[in-house]
Structure 1
Amino acid sequence: MTQQKPLFISHGSPMMAVEKSQTSRFLQQLGQAIPTPSAIVVFSAHFDVKHDVIITAGQQPETIHDFYHFPDELYQIRYPAPGEPKLALRIATLFADANINAKLDNQQGWDHGVWIPLRLMYPQANIPIVQISINTRIGAAQNYRYGQLLAQLKNDNILVIGSGGISHNLAEVFARTKTPNGIDMMNQFRHWVEHKLINNDIESLLNYQQLAPHAQFNHPTQEHFLPLMSVLGASGNTQAHKIHQDVEYELLALDAYSFS
């Protein structure tokens, strides 16, 4: 059985679905470069729930266009990848065995943190997907724990992906008056994250809000960083490798990591 290397992907603007960029080309090449998984499990920044863990369990989930004021062509895109109810049940059992309440949802569709990168990686939409919610209200350590419960999946040719962003401050991106040293603040943060990942300093990463330079500036809210914590847990504390770097709109770091 092929062993998959868990991935963290920065998915960037929804415009990546229709515009060519360094990161869209990277994702297209990535799908061709790694072994084809039998299924994909995704922690996305855009599936943030307040209470119990929610796991998608539908046979054919819909494509969700959970963004506003973009060109009409984006809203016409569908990504008809199937779900995988049996895998969803297996994952729910792993959570239940750890005394974490997880609910199967037959109606939840693929948010754009799922379908935009996966459409680039696997345009045929023929690999089953299960999506697991994150929770910004419980912090990095518990989301890391969610991932830890899935560490065994990589041995069964199941690819675990965290889809978020190394930095994500949209208010600053669209602000009329920019923070004078904002680009430097972003770079300090992304370099700190890279150093901690490469050196497997999990304790610092779990406390990034207190320890990382300019953490609040780069992540005013946590949802785009927590998928990194979940996939870090799913990696089984294996070595992180930076496999891509890019910056969008000067402030959105789109770095990607593989864990092996």
Structure 2
Amino acid sequence: MQIGSVQLYLGHGHLFLGATSSVDLAVFDGDGPVTATEHHVRIAARPQVGPVRVRLWQGAGPRVGKLVFDGPLKLPDAKFCVEEGSGLSRYVTKVTSHCPRVLVAVDDPGHASRVEIVFEPEFVPRSAQVWTAGEPPFPKLTVSPTAPRHRADAFADALSGHDFAHRRLAAALLVVAEERRQRNSEQIVAFYINDIVEWLRWLNDRLTYEMCRDTGRQLLSQLGLRSPNLLAADTLNDLQRRLGHPLV
């Protein structure tokens, strides 16, 4: 599941991933799309032309782009840092291990603008790891053949982006409907709907919290009465009508 994301504007074409300790730049004096030590990975990325997006996943994550690093990184304080090459900007998050196995994939080796990081891909050895195929907009996932995929994981995958908004919303609503049927817990359903409300807000800068909150209430009242696919389509059409122009 996704545990974090950050966008950084790079002054120089280097992105450092790994321990929160200072990076020994003398070690990273070479060129190339990626170099690594036991503590850090250097990724060659696009400087001064646009943001570089980094997403972090625990256990299972998307298999997109080119895998450029697969190995352990020593994190003395069990914190993982994403840092701009000059050290002016950084993002730090807590992880579950002091020496996790880390997968790093980029969209364009040598000129990365999208970076996907997966920590501890289900704790399975390389020989046992499998890549499961997903249908658009959902990418292939790094998973274990023995580790179960829970409904919460499927829900998080559905709302991990905003492309193919209708398909993502329909997939999320399918999970919520199944959660209500299986567990009969309105508290859990309300929790999921709140997450959908927050996701809707990012579809367009002009969408307000009040608009999305009202939409969430409508979803809660219609859930189970209509198919997730139709409910998702009507929800997005209604938001677009209230906004007065296309969502994207």
Fold shared per TM-score above 0.5: no
Structure with greater contact order relative to length (CA < 8 Å, sep ≥ 6): 1
Structure whose residues are more often strand by fraction: 2
Structure number with bigger Rg = 2
**TM-score, with normalisation over the residues of structure 2?**
0.29
TM score, norm. by length of structure 1 = 0.28
More helix by share: 1
